[in-house]
């Protein structure tokens, strides 16, 4: 079937899907954001507010609601690492059928719990293999062996039609027309259906397909003229981590998507922070990809009415820590510099005092590796102009430095140090007021009495900062007197505590 015929059938199926899916859920909101300092209006389709906090329930329910009584009695089987599984589980419970859901062994517990919560006794989870492909192969084998209907996550006309109802809601909202839509693409089901419906109702709209840098399976298929399997797929944006797109979805996307873009994981993290700040929602990484592309385009969209789909918000809580660290880098605000200073008492304080007062330090990584020279790695939260002022101040202060923002050891916060170089060291945890100049004030007080040999701090978003610090002394007497020095510096911090002997043993090896 050619693309034009597929689109014609899909349009018809989207109309039929209307009466089915609203047995389960209601239309989700279409919120708008006016980008600061611009004339760019971003419209965000809030699929995170749907019954499973993602759009996948639409397609799953639409296809399963069309099964015969005999097929429902036998049950269905599918494979999914997340949102599609929840959609099938919800549909199975509503339609009083059973669903066997194959998931990779690495599927986070949170997603398994969500599937059971939506499906209850109607669902059986079978963990199999290390990837979606392995789970999918096992699910297809099960379907053939037990004579069950396989529910595809994206490459099925009825599934696409269900996903297309979100685009129908966008049209029916009365907030159109829109100049451009940024649609994230995994297997292509949502993108194909949304592009079909949006172009039918807004003929002048431009469709941008958005993929992760190491997930661009649809762009590869379009370039090759047929679906091709990627050798490697990054899974940070796990909702769009598809090695090979669908045959049907490829036909439509190749015809209707006007341009392809990729976004990095850092850019996606920055978009998640943006959506939190603007709408107080926290999407999963794949849910923020469209907005990430919009922010990447920036001023090129001036005066445009821009559409994006927040397609889901099912994410492990633990992933938030990684996202918070990456978001500032993705927004080009977080920059890391490795700066050379003499390895002597007072040098670190001198470095901090040479920096502009407006500079915000968000990360500090330092350990003694050389008896004469130190090279702390410092992370800054700065605008491009502030970064220019900062580097000029370092040049004026005759400091040698290099940018290390993208270095692996910096990203993983691997702090290098040689314990044998440390002379009579002590380690403390320090709690201080999270304000500009606080650390410099503390170091000013203690520098005449000791040399800083270790510094581990990262901004946590709280009103207080916490750091692990190491100090060294010429002799054991200086070490003993340091508690008195710390007490004299009480005005510069909230609290401190000496690291336990067991921790010291592990630190010093």
CA quadruple 255, 257, 260, 263: dihedral sign: negative
- Of the chain, the end-to-end C-alpha distance in Å amounts to 67
Give tens-digit pLDDT for 217-271: 999 999 999 999 999 999 899 899 999 999 999 999 999 999 999 999 999 999 9
State yes or no: pLDDT of 442 exceeds 90.
Answer: no
Compute CA 389 distance to the chain's CA centroid, rounded to the nearest angstrom. Answer: 30
Q: Which of 150-159, 202-211, 329-338, 421-430 has the lowest mean pLDDT?
A: 329-338
86 pLDDT above the threshold of 90: yes
Read off the pLDDT band of 318 (50, 70, 90). confident
Peptide bond into 177 cis (omega under 30): yes
For the segment 431-445, the average pLDDT, to the nearest whole number, is: 84
Segment among 47-61, 175-189, 407-421, 432-446 with least mean pLDDT = 432-446
DSSP state of 300: G
Partnered with residue 176 across adjacent β-strands are none
Instruction: Find the mean pLDDT for residues 64-76.
Output: 97
CA angle 450, 454, 455 (to 5 degrees): 110
pLDDT score of 8: 95
Mean pLDDT of 379-405: 93
Q: Which of 139, 62, 148, 54 is nearest to 103 (CA)?
A: 139
Q: Could you state, in order of their start, the residue ranges of all structural domains in the chain? A: 3-55+159-329, 57-150, 333-508
**Bridge partners, 466 (sequence order):** 431
Give the pLDDT of residue 490.
86
pLDDT tier at 393 (50, 70, 90 boundaries)? very high
Instruction: With beta carbons less than 8 A apart as the criterion, state whether 469 and 417 touch.
Output: no
Q: Is the pLDDT of residue 120 over 90?
A: yes
**Average pLDDT for residues 322-335, to the nearest whole number?**
76
- Is residue 56 a contact partner of residue 86, using CB atoms and an 8 Å limit? yes
Asked if the domains at 3-55+159-329 and 333-508 fall in one CATH topology, the answer is no
Question: Using alpha carbons only, what angle is made at residue 254 by residues 250 and 260, rounded to the nearest 5 degrees?
Answer: 110
Mean pLDDT of the chain: 93
- For residues 495-507, give the mean pLDDT: 90
Query: With left for phi above 0 and alpha for psi between -120 and 50, is residue 158 left, alpha or beta?
Result: alpha
Q: Is the pLDDT of residue 54 over 70?
A: yes
The number of helix segments (H) and strand segments (E) in the chain equals: 19, 20
Residue 332 has pLDDT above 80, yes or no: no
Confidence of residue 330 (pLDDT cuts 50, 70, 90): low
CATH 1.10.3720.10 fits 333-508, yes or no: no
**Is 2.40.110.10 the CATH classification of the domain at 3-55+159-329?**
no
User: Per-residue pLDDT averaged across 313-340, rounded?
Assistant: 83
| CA–CA separation, 283 and 493 (whole Å) | 37
As a whole number, mean pLDDT of residues 57-76 equals: 97
Q: What is the largest CA-CA distance in the chain?
A: 86
Q: pLDDT for 243-257, tens place per residue? A: 999 999 999 999 999
Output the pLDDT for position 433. Answer: 85
Taking only the tens place, the pLDDT of each residue in 395-414 is: 999 999 999 998 999 989 99
pLDDT tens per residue across span 308-317: 999 999 988 8
Asked if residues 334 and 304 have their Cβ atoms less than 8 Å apart, the reply is: no
- A 10 A CB-CB count for 439 gives 25
Q: How many Cβ atoms sit within 10 Å of the Cβ of residue 500? A: 10
How many angstroms separate the CA atoms of 201 and 191, rounded? 15
pLDDT of 329 higher than 70 = no
**Two structure tokens written together for 438:** 């606080």
Report H helices in 99-174: 109-119, 132-146, 157-172
Work out the average pLDDT over 47-73: 97
What pLDDT shows up at residue 328? Answer: 65
CATH tag for 57-150 (out of 3.40.50.1100, 3.20.20.70, 3.40.109.10, 3.10.20.30): 3.40.50.1100
At residue 107, the pLDDT reads 84
CA distance 445 to 449: 8
Determine the average pLDDT of the residues in 347-361.
89
- What gap in Å lies between CA 381 and CA 132, rounded to an integer? 38
What pLDDT does 508 receive?
A: 86
């Amino acid at each position: 079937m050619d693309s034009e015929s597929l689109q014609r059938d899909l349009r018809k199926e989207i109309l039929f899907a209307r009466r089915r899916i609203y047995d389960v859920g209601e239309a989700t909101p279409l919120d708008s954001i006016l980008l600061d300092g611009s004339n760019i209006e971003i419209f965000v389709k809030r699929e995170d507010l749907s019954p499973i906090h993602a759009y996948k329930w639409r397609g799953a329910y639409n296809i399963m609601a069309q099964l015969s009584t005999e097929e429902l009695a036998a049950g269905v089987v599918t494979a999914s690492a997340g949102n599609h599984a929840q959609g099938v589980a919800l549909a199975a419970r509503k339609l009083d059928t059973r669903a066997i859901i194959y998931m990779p062994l690495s599927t986070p517990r949170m997603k398994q719990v969500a599937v059971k919560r939506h499906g209850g006794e109607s669902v059986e989870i079978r963990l199999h293999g290390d990837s979606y492909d392995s789970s999918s192969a096992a699910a297809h084998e099960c379907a053939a062996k037990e004579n069950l209907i396989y529910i595809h996550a994206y490459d099925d006309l009825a599934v696409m039609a269900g996903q297309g109802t979100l685009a129908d809601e966008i049209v029916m909202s009365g907030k159109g027309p829109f100049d451009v839509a940024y649609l994230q693409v995994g297997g292509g089901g949502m993108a194909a259906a949304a592009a079909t419906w949006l172009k039918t109702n807004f003929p002048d709209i431009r469709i941008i397909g958005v993929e992760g840098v190491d997930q661009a399976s649809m762009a590869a298929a379009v370039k090759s003229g047929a679906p091709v399997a990627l050798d490697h797929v990054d899974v940070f944006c796990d909702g769009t981590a598809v090695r090979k797109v669908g045959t049907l979805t490829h036909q439509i996307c190749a015809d209707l998507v006007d341009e392809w873009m990729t976004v990095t994981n850092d850019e996606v993290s920055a978009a998640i922070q943006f959506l939190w700040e603007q709408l107080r929602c926290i999407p999963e990484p794949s849910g923020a990809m469209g907005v990430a592309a919009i922010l990447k385009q920036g001023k090129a969209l001036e005066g445009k009415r821009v559409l994006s789909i927040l397609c889901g918000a099912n994410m492990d809580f633990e992933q938030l820590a990684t996202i918070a660290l990456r978001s500032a880098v993705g927004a080009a605000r977080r920059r890391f510099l490795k700066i050379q200073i003499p390895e002597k008492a007072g040098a670190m304080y001198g470095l901090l005092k040479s920096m502009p007062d407006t500079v915000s330090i968000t990360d500090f990584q330092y350990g003694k590796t050389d008896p004469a020279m130190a090279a702390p790695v410092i992370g800054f939260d700065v605008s491009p102009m502030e970064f220019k002022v900062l580097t000029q101040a370092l040049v004026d202060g005759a400091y040698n430095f290099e940018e290390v923002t993208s270095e692996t050891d910096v990203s993983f916060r691997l702090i290098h140090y040689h314990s044998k170089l440390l002379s009579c060291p002590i380690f403390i945890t320090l709690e201080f007021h999270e304000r500009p100049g606080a650390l410099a004030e503390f170091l000013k007080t203690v520098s005449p009495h000791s040399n800083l040999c270790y510094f581990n701090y990262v901004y946590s978003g709280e009103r207080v900062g916490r750091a692990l610090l190491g100090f060294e002394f010429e002799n054991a007497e200086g070490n003993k007197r340091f508690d008195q020095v710390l007490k004299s510096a009480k005005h510069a911090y909230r609290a401190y505590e000496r690291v336990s002997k067991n921790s010291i043993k592990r630190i010093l090896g």
